[in-house]
Chain A
């Protein structure tokens, strides 16, 4: 039982490049989330999807897009990467509603030069 799987685990990009972070969960959860974690800033919500077919902005959505491909998968795309987007990105899922306990992946460490 894998839980929440994120790929890739590490990535280095140049400014202006684009990439997509992938996330999949096998717990049949309705809700999925993308966070970024920066030193001294804690976990900040980028986007979330309360259910298949819906997505909403979180606290820091600028520079990102998301796709809820199906119930299992929720991807995060950086169209034109900037050094300010250097961070550790976490995907999470929860059963029914954003206030339920969340299950996190192990993160993607992204550096933008």
Chain B
């Protein structure tokens, strides 16, 4: 059972555009993490959101945790080629997690110069 749905699956945009990717679930999570994975490397943690409605900013990246703690979004402003990668969300404390993280399948972002 896929508990975390990410959309879109693929996104190809031009440098300078804005974009939003989504992470949705029917389960409530105690926290949600976002990772970025570049080709040939392992995922790297970007941020953890814990409180419903929480907004965190990391330079041009804005992360939001839904009020009900079932969903999250990542918004990138003025995307750069260096933002290219696979963005993964991971939920903690949700149904079926058995004390481990539940990962979504990811959004593959390509930013063209």
Contacts and interface: CB of A to CB of B under 8 A. Distances in A.
Interface of A: 4, 33, 40-43, 45, 48, 50, 58, 90, 92, 97-107
B43 interface: yes
Contacts of A4: 42
Contacts of B61: none
Interface of B: 30-31, 33, 40-45, 48, 88, 90, 92-93, 97-101, 103-106
Contacts, number: 53
Interface secondary structure of A, over-half rule: loop
Contacts of B103: 42-43
A98 B99 contact: yes
A90 B88 CA distance: 14
Contacts of A33: 100
Given A42-B88, A92-B42, A106-B40, A99 B101 contact: yes
Contacts of A106: 40-42
A103 B41 CA distance: 12
B99 A107 contact: no
B41 A107 contact: yes
Contacts of A98: 92, 97-101
A45 B88 CA distance: 15
Query: For B31, B48, B97, B103, which residue has the most chain A Cβ atoms within 10 angstroms?
Result: B103
Contacts of B40: 106-107
